[in-house]
Amino acid sequence: MFAEEASEPRDRPEAAGWRSVAIAIHSLRQLPTPTLLTIAFADGPHPLWIDFSTLQYFWELPLAEMPPEPGALTVYSQPIESGEPPYPWVEWRPADPLLWQIGRFAFGTERAPWMRPGERYALQRWPNLTETPHSPEEIRMAATLTNGFLTAEEIGLLSGSDTPNAQRVLNALSLMGAVRTTDSAAPAPAGSALPAAVAESPAAPTESGGFLQRLRGRINGGR
């Protein structure tokens, strides 16, 4: 439930649309305080709630119907009790699919503002995309990140895509907390292995020698 000091929500004026929501989400994930983020839509019947103590969300709108442009909205946060969703009568869902969609829409093919130019990323855990739309190309790019630390350009080259689309996928995975950088390199947590169908795909190279050879060839202009 709500913490005692949560009588007044804290307004978070940011840029417009999903961009403002993504920036708020990334900022709140860095804080140790259990927090509820509320996104109220001017044209929507019900707000979107994200519980950062359990990483769950509630929204009446199915994610398949989520608009790329949400229109006017208000974003605010308030502290809550850890591990206790503030509205126990609603059906809370894992936040991964929602964060994937927000991350894809928020910045287009531009780099998210918290990501640095030239920074390399590796997959820290396999994202839960079972409840949200995604393409085979996006799965290939996510799978490519299991080979080591890569830039958006390298991901695009290795997956047969391009840098803008790779950046869009990186934005989403970063917002989900599914990737790590070279600055925060650590062993991947348990349960982060690729699904069997992806691991067996020829589009997801798994041998480091072949991966490095392919990367050098692509960067040098070979195909």
The predicted pLDDT at position 147 comes to 86
- Could you state, in order of their start, the residue ranges of all structural domains in the chain? 10-94, 121-219
The predicted pLDDT at position 36 comes to 95
The predicted pLDDT at position 185 comes to 47
Q: Give just the sign of the alpha carbon dihedral 17, 19, 24, 26.
A: positive
* pLDDT at residue 186 greater than cutoff 50: no
Q: What is the pTM of this model?
A: 0.77
The predicted pLDDT at position 184 comes to 53
Selected residue with higher pLDDT from 211 and 40: 40
Calculate the average pLDDT of the chain. 79
CA dihedral 93, 98, 100, 106 (to 10 degrees): -160
Taking residues 120-136, report their average pLDDT. Answer: 83
* pLDDT at residue 5 greater than cutoff 60: no
* pLDDT at residue 52 greater than cutoff 50: yes
Measured CA to CA, the distance from residue 103 to residue 177 in angstroms comes to 11
- Which residues, including other chains, have CB under 8 Å from residue 8's CB and lie 6 or more apart? 78
